[in-house]
Amino acid sequence: MDTEFTPWLSLAGGMLIGASAVLLMATNGRIAGISGLTSRAFARGTSGEARGVSIFFVLGLLLAAPIWLALNGEWPTQWVPGNLPLMAIAGLLVGFGAILGNGCTSGHGVCGISRGSARSIVATVTFMASAFATVLVTRHLIGG
Amino acid sequence: MKQLFALLCGLIFGFGLIISGMSDPAKVLNFLDVFGSWDPSLAFVIGGAVAVSAPGLAWVTRSRRAPFFGDTFHLPTRTDLDPNLLTGAAIFGIGWGLGGFCPGPALTALPIAASGTLVFVPFMLGGMYLARHTPDLALLGKKGLIQ
């Protein structure tokens, strides 16, 4: 499945993501790490205040595509792998790994790198390397 | 106000993911496929995000003593590179490379209701729950609770 290289749209979208991270820190004092926010929306032992902020942030994420649909008359373009057992395993690994490693693409890859955190830089290099290796194996060594 | 701004931030974040193309697993998987149908867009997303949030976060946390609607900035203080950080990141990367979804894009794409997304998200939440509530075996060992 080929996709079009979109440098300007991706740069613009990335800047919106950065702006969201700055606004969340300025108003709520929290890092815009999606795995942390998402898990705090339902995990035990979360303060009511942290849970409230997390639930509303996730609600905002969930509303973006429907609002996009209302404005543009169609869903954003996407292609999602249809191998459901594979997607179940992928989901489990992403969720488990993100919490064990204290962050995902947003928390480590955007906010952590922005703060110059050594932990986040190491985590980002690690998950990038493991993701590149995974795609190399599935698409070129066994998938063909 | 806190909740309102959290909602707004989630919405902006979601629009950023859609506009940048990152809510589409095909683009993410192609970024990871350097030797195939490579699409470098994801690097521009991270570049654009860091270009705004690096100066923005530094400015906000240095110019103010507290956020507008809160008592304190919740900033990570750990600096050690522990095994869980590396193991977790490596496991996360495998799942990301298999499905093309990380948590933000998966939640953003959830309402579009592709069958792959509808399976991915509950398993992702399950994985998060497991990681948060599985007792640390090493810690239990130290306390003598398990052999």
Does residue A144 register a pLDDT over 80? no
In-domain check, residue B104:
yes
Of the pLDDT bands very low, low, confident and very high (cuts 50, 70, 90), residue A13 is very high
Query: pLDDT tens digits, residue range A55-67?
Result: 999 999 999 999 9
Q: Is residue B105 part of a domain?
A: yes
> For chain A, what is the mean pLDDT?
94
The pLDDT value given to residue B73: 94
CA of A83, closest CA in chain B: separation in Å?
A: 7
Number of structural domains chain B divides into = 1
Q: Check pLDDT > 80 for residue B15.
A: yes
Quote the domain boundaries for residue B136.
Answer: 2-142
The reply to whether residue A110 touches residue B3, judged by beta carbons under 8 angstroms, is: no
Query: Domain map of chain A by residue range?
Result: 7-141
Chain A: give the shortest CA distance to residue B139, in Å: 15
Percent helix / strand / coil, chain A, rounded to 5: 75, 0, 25
Q: Does B48 touch chain A (CB under 8 A)?
A: yes
pLDDT, position A132: 97
* Separation of alpha carbons B120 and A89, rounded Å: 8
Establish whether this prediction's ipTM goes over 0.85. Answer: yes
The yes-or-no verdict on residue B146 having pLDDT over 60 is no
What pLDDT is recorded for position A90?
Answer: 98
Instruction: Provide mean pLDDT across the span A43-70.
Output: 93
Per-residue pLDDT for B67 more than 70? yes
Per-residue pLDDT averaged across B130-141, rounded?
72
Q: Has residue B147 been placed in a domain? A: no
pLDDT at B137: 59
Q: Assess whether pLDDT exceeds 90 at residue A17.
A: yes
| Set of chain B residues whose Cβ sits within 8 Å of the Cβ of A12 | 19-20, 48
- Is B119 in contact with A108 (Cβ distance < 8 A)? no
Residues from chain A contacting residue B112 (CB–CB below 8 Å): 65, 75-76, 78
Taking a C-beta distance cutoff of 8 angstroms, is the pair B117, B101 a contact? yes
Minimum-distance CB partner of B68 among A27, A81, A87: A27
**pLDDT surpasses 60 at B26:** yes
Mean pLDDT of A116-144: 92
Stretch A102-129: mean pLDDT, rounded? 95
Q: Does residue B114 belong to any structural domain of this protein?
A: yes
pLDDT at B97 over 60: yes
Residue type for position B126: G
- Which contiguous run of DSSP H or E holds residue B136? none
Q: In this predicted model, what pLDDT tens digit does every residue of B41-59 receive, in sequence order?
A: 999 999 999 999 999 999 9
B-interface mutation test, from A4, A8, A25, most B Cβ less than 10 A away: A25
Q: Which two tokens stand for residue A103?
A: 């962050």
Cα→Cα distances A2→B30, B31, B94, Å? 7, 11, 21
Give yes or no for B113 touching A (CB within 8 A): no
Q: Is B83 on the interface with A (CB under 8 A)?
A: no
A141: three-class secondary structure by DSSP: helix
Q: Nearest-CA distance from A21 to chain B in Å?
A: 6
